[in-house]
Amino acid sequence: VQLLKLLINKKNEVVSRQDILKLVWGYDVFPSTRTIDNFIASLRKHFEEDPRHPKHIHSIRGGGYRFTEE
């Protein structure tokens, strides 16, 4: 839920993996970036019509993730 809130609050902005780790999991806890991928995949399964071709939660190569309303 925290990750989704972060992406929505920063709608149309690219949120870096580093920022996601800091803002969602805190400064003291650094799970692997694969953890982020798993959470994003889960969000897409619940909120995207076609998770393989997302319209709202986009991966930005070398940048992070971006939420758009479409």
pLDDT in tens, the chain (70 residues): 899 999 999 999 999 988 998 898 886 666 666 888 999 999 999 999 999 999 999 999 999 999 999 7
> How long a stretch of residues is the chain?
70
Find tokens 């071709």 and name the residue.
Answer: 53
Task: Return the CATH number of the domain spanning residue range 2-67.
Answer: 1.10.10.10
Residue type, 36: I
The CB density around residue 45, as the number of other CB atoms within 10 Å, is 9
- Going from N- to C-terminal start, the domains of the chain cover 2-67
pTM across the whole model = 0.85
